[in-house]
């Protein structure tokens, strides 16, 4: 009990100072009582976990919004997906006597953290978005990530909701021998590949032979089959057809749903598909799914808009595949634009910045509508080198290591020519950038309706 | 330009591409193009037959243990030819898993030995219960000054050859010997990625000079504007390995 009080006091203190209280209260409480999560685990009825490499924050928010339309839920916000972030979510949902105000929790969980919290909570459903190459220094190698997920699944009795288009997730499903539901995009919407992007798991995880692909969506997501053994893409129970502003959701025996996409892009179509599949497995009606999508508020750093003198869009980047999706979205805007890329190398960002070279920044250097790229953060120079060797002319690149100064420089260039600004940052630069931009919006005289805050 | 084309082979990019080898290829090709050379990069996948006589430089990158095993198995048939070419001076840049592959074997924690190419007098073992050697790294090399980057390897490598350099910060080959990498004929083997070459332009140019000589081009490389590279080196050392920055007056 004392741990909960301490957590709540810390929350109050942080809020009084206008600080972000998504992780630190839980950290303090867990230090006082390491078994705090198990204590909460005995007091909550069911927990739905979303994990995976990319899209887990968006998918969690979508699913929380859908289930939250039906009943009160507990959820961790802003991607605070380590044990302390999850503890914080429970502390904030608990009364001073420790009583929780909801029976269901929808939690985003980091893959590496998952085994340590899996046995503490009554997890009934695990939704996995995809398994891509992520921060190698934290996880060792990709195979380690898969092992962590196996380890976690074994500690629960949950059923699985997996991305059937992802061969690594498929392998996870086969090896786990759990009740598994697959979701995937409609077969006929797969594309023949055009750009060279990183593809993990392109070799059969059962026998080592090269997988044959009849089409791709992005990264290693596609229509795969092993020519040598029986490993192949499963026929998904939940099928999505991405139609731009909407996603058609099909499920055998039920009428199709036409879902309004609250966020743009194919990778977000996968998030909507994963969340809806999770909602169906939990037993949600279509009205809750529609209402959840309509009420959804984009989390920080997912094409988050700020209206200053010029429109500013903020995106989190953290690994090659996720970064490619973001850069693709940026370059699909035909307007001339200013781009700011902030790269830090702290623990939460990944201390190894090698992944910058696996990401397809050539999409950016090939884009003639880029007026200026400002690189920033602790590894601003590494990012500038990436662009230089990617072929971007050096007079288009500026290095300004301080993020606030970089933002000011970008605003002054963009305002003078009325250009939009796209900002891409790694994790530890995201929240400071949100704060800076929020302050700038506040002091911007014509604060206008286009800005939707997600900072509550 | 009247210069001949340099042929770089990237061996098994489909299998060994864990540590941004693309950055090394880009650095090599751009630094040649900026000097007016033409370059051809041969992406030799596991389905192709490597034509060693057609290459002026080979790049062997890193992969996961599983993928490395596949490569070792596949390369068995080319072992003798590759060894002969290396003895003859074929330049090879081998990084992480590719570096380990040059040795006799890689011993997994469960004791299983994945055979390597056995070209160098060298072996690697993962040890049992030993931590991965992870972090920023800087070494002092005789012909390319300070080489810096990131290392992340479970394996401890032991060999009888010249090292690539002396460890100034980080772990190196085995976390104990104080040395990093290997130099043998025209082979450079190292655990340093980050990737290796963009922030180490001197090393990139040493490799390129050697490859050009091997290709029969005698003229020296013209200097390039490495202002941004040098700023990146200084910023990286200052922020992440300040004791190296202060101990070495000129980079
Ligand atoms: Zn197979």
For the domain that residue A21 is a member of, what is the CATH number?
Answer: 3.40.1190.10
pLDDT confidence of B149, banded at 50, 70, 90? Answer: very high
The CATH number of the structural domain formed by B6-240 is: 3.40.50.880
Separation of B244 CA from ligand 1 center, angstroms? 48
Separation of A203 CA from ligand 1 center, angstroms? 8
Closest partner CB to A208 (pick from B14, B17, B70): B70
Give catalytic status of residue B193 as yes or no. Answer: yes
pLDDT of residue A133: 67
A67 and A191 both lie in a single domain: yes
A44 and A108 both lie in a single domain: yes
Per-chain mean pLDDT for chain A: 87
Closest partner CB to B27 (pick from A354, A358, A389): A389
End-to-end Cα, chain B, rounded Å: 33
pLDDT confidence of A456, banded at 50, 70, 90? Answer: very low
CA separation for the pair A269, A284 (Å, rounded): 19
Contact A378, A343 (CB under 8 A): yes
A398-424 confidence digits (pLDDT tens) = 999 999 999 999 999 999 999 999 999
pLDDT of residue A446: 47
CA separation for the pair A108, A75 (Å, rounded): 8
Whether A200 has a pLDDT exceeding 70, the answer reads no
Catalytic residue among A230, A260, A352, A402: A352
Quick check: B17 and A198 CB within 8 A?
Answer: yes
A123 and A183 both lie in a single domain: yes
Whether A66 has a pLDDT exceeding 70, the answer reads yes
Question: Beta-carbon neighbour count of residue A42 at 10 Å?
Answer: 9
Whether A139 has a pLDDT exceeding 50, the answer reads no
A321 SS3 class:
helix
Whether A266 has a pLDDT exceeding 80, the answer reads yes
CA-nearest residue to B226 within chain A is A385
A74 and A215 both lie in a single domain: yes
Size of interface A-B (CB pairs under 8 A): 89
Looking up tokens 């039920």, which residue turns up?
A254
pLDDT confidence of A199, banded at 50, 70, 90? Answer: low
Quick check: A386 and B65 CB within 8 A?
Answer: no
Q: How many helices (H) and strands (E) does chain B have?
A: 7, 14
Quick check: A356 and B235 CB within 8 A?
Answer: no
pLDDT of residue A140: 53
| Percent of chain A topping pLDDT 90 | 57
| Residues on A contacting B at a C-beta cutoff of 8 Å | 136-137, 140-143, 198, 202-203, 208, 210, 345, 351-358, 378-382, 384-386, 388-391, 394, 399, 401
Quick check: A384 and B26 CB within 8 A?
Answer: no
A308 and A280 both lie in a single domain: no
Query: Which of A101, A95, A110, A87 lies closest to A40, judged by CA?
Result: A87
Question: Cα distance from B52 to chain A (closest Cα, Å)?
Answer: 24
Closest partner CB to A381 (pick from B134, B194, B228): B228
Question: Cα distance from A162 to chain B (closest Cα, Å)?
Answer: 24
CA separation for the pair B128, B171 (Å, rounded): 18
Quick check: B154 and A140 CB within 8 A?
Answer: yes
Any domain includes A396: yes
A361 and A267 both lie in a single domain: no
Render the burial of A371-389: b for 16+ CB within 10 Å, e for the rest: ebbbbbbbbbbbbbbbbbb
pLDDT of residue A289: 95
pLDDT of residue B1: 45
Every domain of chain B and the residues it spans: 6-240
A196 and A311 both lie in a single domain: no
Quick check: A352 and B132 CB within 8 A?
Answer: no
| Residues on B contacting A at a C-beta cutoff of 8 Å | 14-15, 17-20, 22-23, 26-27, 30, 46-47, 64-67, 70, 132, 134-136, 150, 152, 154, 193-195, 198-199, 228-229, 231-232, 235-236, 239-240
Any domain includes A288: yes
The residue range of the domain holding A11 is 2-294
Closest partner CB to A378 (pick from B135, B195, B239): B239
pLDDT (average), residues A21-44: 84
pLDDT (average), residues A248-264: 91
Question: Cα distance from A401 to chain B (closest Cα, Å)?
Answer: 10
Count up the domains in chain A and report the number: 2
Q: What angle do CA A191, A192, A193 make, to 5 degrees?
A: 105
Quick check: B15 and A353 CB within 8 A?
Answer: no
Which chain A residues have a beta carbon less than 8 Å from that of B30?
389, 391
Burial class (CB in 10 A: 0-12, 13-18, 19+), B124: buried
pLDDT (average), residues B172-199: 96
pTM attached to this predicted model: 0.77
A340 and A285 both lie in a single domain: no
Query: Edge-to-edge strand order for the sheet containing B122-125?
Result: B113-115, B105-107, B122-125, B156-159
Quick check: B135 and A358 CB within 8 A?
Answer: no
Question: Cα distance from B88 to chain A (closest Cα, Å)?
Answer: 32
Which chain B residues have a beta carbon less than 8 Å from that of A391?
30
Whether A18 has a pLDDT exceeding 70, the answer reads no
pLDDT of residue B19: 63
Which one of A294, A327, A355 terminates a domain?
A294
Whether A453 has a pLDDT exceeding 60, the answer reads no
A282 and A214 both lie in a single domain: yes
DSSP state, residue B7: E
pLDDT of residue A167: 92
Whether A76 has a pLDDT exceeding 50, the answer reads yes
Per-residue CA distances from A171 to A44, A132, A182 (Å): 31, 13, 12
Mutation site for A-interface testing, chosen from B10, B15, B22 by largest number of A Cβ within 10 Å? B22
pLDDT confidence of A134, banded at 50, 70, 90? Answer: low
Closest partner CB to B23 (pick from A141, A357, A394): A357
Quick check: A203 and B231 CB within 8 A?
Answer: no
Closest partner CB to A385 (pick from B15, B17, B232): B232
Give catalytic status of residue B185 as yes or no. Answer: no
CA separation for the pair B45, B14 (Å, rounded): 6
A269 SS3 class:
helix
Per-chain mean pLDDT for chain B: 90
pLDDT confidence of B17, banded at 50, 70, 90? Answer: low
CA A64 distance to own-chain centroid: 14
Whether B94 has a pLDDT exceeding 60, the answer reads yes
pLDDT (average), residues B63-79: 76
Quick check: B195 and A382 CB within 8 A?
Answer: no
A197 and A317 both lie in a single domain: no
Separation of A208 CA from ligand 1 center, angstroms? 6
Q: Is the dihedral of CA B32, B144, B86, B180 positive or negative?
A: negative
Which one of A240, A267, A294 terminates a domain?
A294
pLDDT confidence of A78, banded at 50, 70, 90? Answer: low
A223 SS3 class:
strand
Whether B83 has a pLDDT exceeding 90, the answer reads yes
A311 and A210 both lie in a single domain: no
Q: Please confirm whether the linkage preceding B195 is cis (ω < 30° from 0).
A: yes
Which chain B residues have a beta carbon less than 8 Å from that of A141?
18, 64-65
pLDDT of residue A30: 82
Question: Cα distance from B192 to chain A (closest Cα, Å)?
Answer: 11
Which one of A232, A260, A294 terminates a domain?
A294
Any domain includes A299: no
Closest partner CB to B152 (pick from A136, A382, A391): A136
A259 and A320 both lie in a single domain: no
How would you classify the pairing of strands A104-108 and A46-51?
parallel
A216-249 confidence digits (pLDDT tens) = 898 889 999 999 999 999 999 999 999 988 999 9
CA separation for the pair B90, B59 (Å, rounded): 11
pLDDT (average), residues B123-147: 93
**Ion ligand 1, residues whose Cβ is below 5 A away:** A 204, 206-207, 209, 226, 228-229, 231
Q: Is the dihedral of CA A134, A139, A142, A146 positive or negative?
A: negative
pLDDT (average), residues B36-40: 94
How would you classify the pairing of strands A246-251 and B179-180?
unpaired
Catalytic residue among B10, B96, B169, B171: B96
A82-117 confidence digits (pLDDT tens) = 888 898 889 888 888 878 889 999 999 998 889 999
CA separation for the pair A297, A65 (Å, rounded): 9
Any domain includes A321: yes
Per-residue CA distances from A438 to A239, A306, A456 (Å): 38, 8, 12
Any domain includes A114: yes
pLDDT of residue A450: 43
Which chain A residues have a beta carbon less than 8 Å from that of B240?
345
CATH of the domain at A443: 3.90.190.20
Whether A331 has a pLDDT exceeding 80, the answer reads yes
A151-198 confidence digits (pLDDT tens) = 999 999 999 999 999 999 999 999 998 999 999 999 999 988 655 555
Whether A372 has a pLDDT exceeding 90, the answer reads yes
A305-325 confidence digits (pLDDT tens) = 898 999 999 999 988 888 988
Which chain B residues have a beta carbon less than 8 Å from that of A356?
20, 23
Quick check: B26 and A141 CB within 8 A?
Answer: no
């Amino acid at each position: 009990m004392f741990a909960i009080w301490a957590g709540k006091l810390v929350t109050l203190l942080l809020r009084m100072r206008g600080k972000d209280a998504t992780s630190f209260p839980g950290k303090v409480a867990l230090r006082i009582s390491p078994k705090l999560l198990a204590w909460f685990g005995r007091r909550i009825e069911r927990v739905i976990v979303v994990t995976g490499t990319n899209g887990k924050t968006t998918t969690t928010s979508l699913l929380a919004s859908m289930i939250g339309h039906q009943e009160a839920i507990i959820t961790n916000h802003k991607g605070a997906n380590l044990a302390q972030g999850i503890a914080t979510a429970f502390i904030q949902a608990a009364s001073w006597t420790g009583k929780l105000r909801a029976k269901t929790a929808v939690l985003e969980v980091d893959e590496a953290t998952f085994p340590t919290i899996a046995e503490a909570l009554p997890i009934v459903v695990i939704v996995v978005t995809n398994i891509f190459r992520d921060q190698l220094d934290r996880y060792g190698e990709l195979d380690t990530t898969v092992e962590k997920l196996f380890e976690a699944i074994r500690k629960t009795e949950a059923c699985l909701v997996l991305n059937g288009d992802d061969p690594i997730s498929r392998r996870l499903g086969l090896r786990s021998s759990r009740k598994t539901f697959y979701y995937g995009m409609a077969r006929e919407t797969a594309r023949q590949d055009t750009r060279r992007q990183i593809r993990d798991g392109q070799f059969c995880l059962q026998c080592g032979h090269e997988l044959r692909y009849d089409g791709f969506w992005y990264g290693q997501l596609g229509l795969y089959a092993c020519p040598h053994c029986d490993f192949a893409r499963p026929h998904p129970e939940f099928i999505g057809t991405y139609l731009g502003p909407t996603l058609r959701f099909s499920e055998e025996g039920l009428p199709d749903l036409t879902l309004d996409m609250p966020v743009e892009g194919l990778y977000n179509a996968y998030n909507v598909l994963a969340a809806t599949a999770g909602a169906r497995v939990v037993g949600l009606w279509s009205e809750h799914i529609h209402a959840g999508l309509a009420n959804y508020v984009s989390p920080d750093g997912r094409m988050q808009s700020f209206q200053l003198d010029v429109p500013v869009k903020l995106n989190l980047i953290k690994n090659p595949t996720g970064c490619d999706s973001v850069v693709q979205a940026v370059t699909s805007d035909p307007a001339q634009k200013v781009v700011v890329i902030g790269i830090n190398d702290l623990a939460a960002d990944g201390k190894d910045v090698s992944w910058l070279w696996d990401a397809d920044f050539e999409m950016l250097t090939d884009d003639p509508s880029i007026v200026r790229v400002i690189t920033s953060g602790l590894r601003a120079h590494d990012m500038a080198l990436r662009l230089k060797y990617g072929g971007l002319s050096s007079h288009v690149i500026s290095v300004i290591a301080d993020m606030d100064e970089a933002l000011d420089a970008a605003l002054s260039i963009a305002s003078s020519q009325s250009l939009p600004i796209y900002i891409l940052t790694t994790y530890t630069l995201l929240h400071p950038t949100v704060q800076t931009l929020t302050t700038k919006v506040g002091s911007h005289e014509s604060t206008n309706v286009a800005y939707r805050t997600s900072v509550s | 330009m009247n210069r001949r084309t340099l042929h770089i082979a990237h061996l098994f990019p489909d299998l060994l591409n864990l540590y941004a080898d693309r950055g090394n290829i880009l650095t090599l090709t751009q630094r040649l193009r900026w000097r007016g050379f033409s370059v051809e990069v041969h992406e030799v996948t596991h389905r192709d037959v490597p034509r060693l006589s057609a290459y002026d430089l080979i790049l062997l990158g890193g992969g996961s243990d599983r993928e490395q095993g596949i490569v070792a198995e596949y390369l068995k048939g080319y072992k003798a030819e590759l060894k002969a070419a290396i003895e003859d001076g074929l330049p090879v840049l081998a990084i992480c898993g590719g570096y380990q592959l040059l040795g006799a074997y890689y011993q997994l924690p469960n004791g299983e030995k994945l055979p390597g190419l056995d070209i160098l007098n060298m072996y690697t073992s993962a040890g049992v219960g030993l931590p991965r050697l992870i972090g920023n790294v800087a070494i002092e090399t005789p012909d390319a000054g300070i080489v810096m980057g990131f290392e992340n390897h479970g394996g401890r490598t032991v060999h009888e050859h010249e090292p690539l350099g002396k460890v100034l910060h980080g772990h190196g080959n085995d976390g104990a010997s104080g040395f990093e990498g290997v130099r043998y004929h025209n082979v450079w083997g190292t655990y340093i990625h980050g990737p290796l070459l963009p922030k180490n332009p001197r090393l990139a140019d040493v490799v390129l000079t050697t490859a050009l000589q091997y290709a029969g081009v005698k003229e020296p490389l013209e200097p390039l504007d490495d202002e941004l590279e040098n700023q990146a080196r200084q910023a990286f050392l200052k922020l992440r390995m300040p004791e190296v920055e202060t101990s070495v007056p000129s980079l």
